Amino acid sequence: MQVTLASALRGYTQNREHVPASGATVDELLRSLDQSFPGIRFRIVDEQERIRVHIRIFVNRELAGLGSAVREGDDVRILCALSGG
Amino acid sequence: MGRMPRRPLPRKSLPRRRRAEGPRVALLVATRKGAFFYFANAARTRWRLEGPHFLGQIVNHVALDPRDGRTLLAAVRPGQLGPTIYRSADLGATWQEAKQPPAFARAREGERALAVSHTFHLTPGHSSEPGVWYAAVSPPALFRSADGGVTWAGVEGWNQHPMRFQWCPPEDQTPDGSIMHSVIVDPRDPSHLYVGCSGGGSFESLDRGDSWRPLNEGVEVDFGPERYPEFGQDPHCMALHPLRPDRLYQQNHCGIYRLDRPATRWQRVGRNMPPEIGDIGFGVVLHPRDPDTAWVFPMDGTSVWPRTSIGGQPALYRTRDAGASWLRQDRGLPREHAWYTVKRQAFCADSGDPVGIYFGTTSGELWMSPNEGRSFRQIAAHLPHVYAVTAVTPR
């Protein structure tokens, strides 16, 4: 399936917004992404297996956690908080 | 009457200007929005900017490996993403991310689940241990790399020490977070380490970090229930003199201190500062060849701790007698309305003769003195908030 990445993560994907990944859960999806783009998972998930505080993952527009199920064709988006100014 | 032609003065009558000696200097400037490198000409009169690197990302520190003069490590954290370390083997022409950045072990049941917020400080290991680096992070913890910064592992003697959370509570949130900020490797002995932690104190290890003991005797705490506790002090910066490794200086939340080992009691040499200035600040910089000479940059530590230049009039203070007396140095610096802060890693010296002194400000200015503080001039303005300035001599 295709995963949509926030711009802050696209340094790992040669600036590609949509990248392929596979897995039955969000966690597996992120591990799959890390295989293709080494280092990207640690930017999203900390060493205690928590999604980082300024990141949200949505599956079909619903807020998801690492254990959330995903299926082929789902719309998966990894987004970063907006801040500053 | 016509004007007399001007003849050049005989060359020998021109006043001789003392030129900086030694290899060319570069400044590694880490900021809230990226890193900027400035390369000097031999006289340190012109600076060539190279960068920005990591534009838009928080860069807390960039350090050069003095063992090869080419390898750089950078502590980087984008605002929303997890922290990492980048490595360059070609002075910043290209960068590679660490394969395993500093990260705590997965917490077991009942343990605190800590995550590295950011790496604050990077220190090359001993000259006899090429490839070894130390990383000091927030919350206060120590990591070590044995492969030039590619992979990092916790120094468990500190990170798992049974007293660690009493020494440095990770919940202590100073304005930029609770940090370990200083890591010092004794140039005579790679197993002899010192670390400094905000809201924790100074600590020493004699066995490469396997065990630690507090080293805070004589250091005051004016913000806690006990005046001279065993730990809980707030050092802001600690430095060891490379040619006299038994001499340490410390700029603390509660004053300027000196320690001459094997003594264990710090002396508050900041008591000799002018009383109207006080001895509060963040950084302390040592002369590379004279252990009695050091510089501090006093900040306003009154009332709510503005942490700005005192009276809006920035000035350095220099001692040439190990803290017995201090001289104000501010020629060329703004005379008024300069309300910036100079952070603990944004103040440094090069190894030239005369020594160059450098500092970066929270308002994005970069300043230098080419003559050991006798006068100052601005190198750059309009940079982002400066977190660290490191003077290095690349090969």
Structure tokens given for B310: 């005192």
pLDDT digits (tens, 9 = 90+) for B89-107: 999 999 999 999 999 999 9
For the segment B70-82, the average pLDDT, to the nearest whole number, is 93
Phi/psi of residue B36, nearest 5 degrees: -135, 130
In whole angstroms, give the CA distance from residue B383 to residue B77.
18
Closest residue, chain A, to B85 (C-alpha) = A39
pLDDT reported for residue B177: 64
Phi/psi of residue B377, nearest 5 degrees: -145, 160
pLDDT band of B10, cuts 50, 70, 90: very low
In whole angstroms, give the CA distance from residue B216 to residue B199.
12
For the segment B221-229, the average pLDDT, to the nearest whole number, is 93
Structure tokens given for B372: 């050991």
Distances (CA, A) of B81 to B35, B54, B369: 18, 13, 37
The answer, yes or no, to whether residue B3 has pLDDT greater than 50, is no
Inter-chain touch A50–B115, beta carbons under 8 Å: yes
pLDDT digits (tens, 9 = 90+) for B351-395: 999 999 999 999 999 999 999 999 999 999 999 999 999 999 999
> What is the DSSP annotation of A26-37?
HHHHHHHHHHHS
pLDDT reported for residue B127: 97
Give the residues across from B365 on adjacent strands.
none
Question: Does the global pTM surpass 0.80?
Answer: yes
pLDDT band of B254, cuts 50, 70, 90: very high
The answer, yes or no, to whether residue B18 has pLDDT greater than 60, is no
Per-residue 3-state assignment (H helix, E strand, C coil) for B135-177? EEEECCEEEEECCCCCECEECHHHHCCCCHHHHCCCCCCCCCC
In whole angstroms, give the CA distance from residue B387 to residue B310.
20
Chain B contacts in chain A segment 14-53 (CB below 8 A): 38-39, 42-50, 52
pLDDT reported for residue A7: 94
In whole angstroms, give the CA distance from residue B197 to residue B166.
12
Cα B382-B385-B388 angle, rounded to 5 deg: 115
The answer, yes or no, to whether residue B16 has pLDDT greater than 60, is no
Chain A: closest CA distance from residue B144 (Å): 17
pLDDT reported for residue A84: 64
Other Cβ atoms less than 10 A from the Cβ of B328: the count is 15
Distances (CA, A) of A13 to A26, A35, B229: 18, 12, 51
Cα atoms found within 13 Å of the Cα of residue B368, Cβ hemisphere only: 24
Does the beta carbon of A84 lie under 8 angstroms from any beta carbon of chain B? yes
Residues with pLDDT less than 50, chain A: none
pLDDT reported for residue B78: 85
pLDDT reported for residue B79: 82
Q: Which of B74, B125, B118, B122 is nearest to B98 (CA)?
A: B74
* Mean pLDDT, all residues of chain A: 95
pLDDT reported for residue A26: 98
pLDDT reported for residue B174: 61
pLDDT reported for residue B150: 98
For the segment B166-178, the average pLDDT, to the nearest whole number, is 75
pLDDT reported for residue B391: 98
In whole angstroms, give the CA distance from residue B154 to residue B131.
16
Inter-chain touch A43–B97, beta carbons under 8 Å: no
Preferred mutation among A7, A46, A52, A82 to probe B, highest tally of B CBs within 10 A = A46
In whole angstroms, give the CA distance from residue B344 to residue B235.
10
* Mean pLDDT, all residues of chain B: 93
Inter-chain touch B78–A52, beta carbons under 8 Å: no
Does the beta carbon of A7 lie under 8 angstroms from any beta carbon of chain B? no
Q: Token pair 């507090």 is at which residue?
A: B214
pLDDT reported for residue B103: 98
Structure tokens given for B153: 């592992």
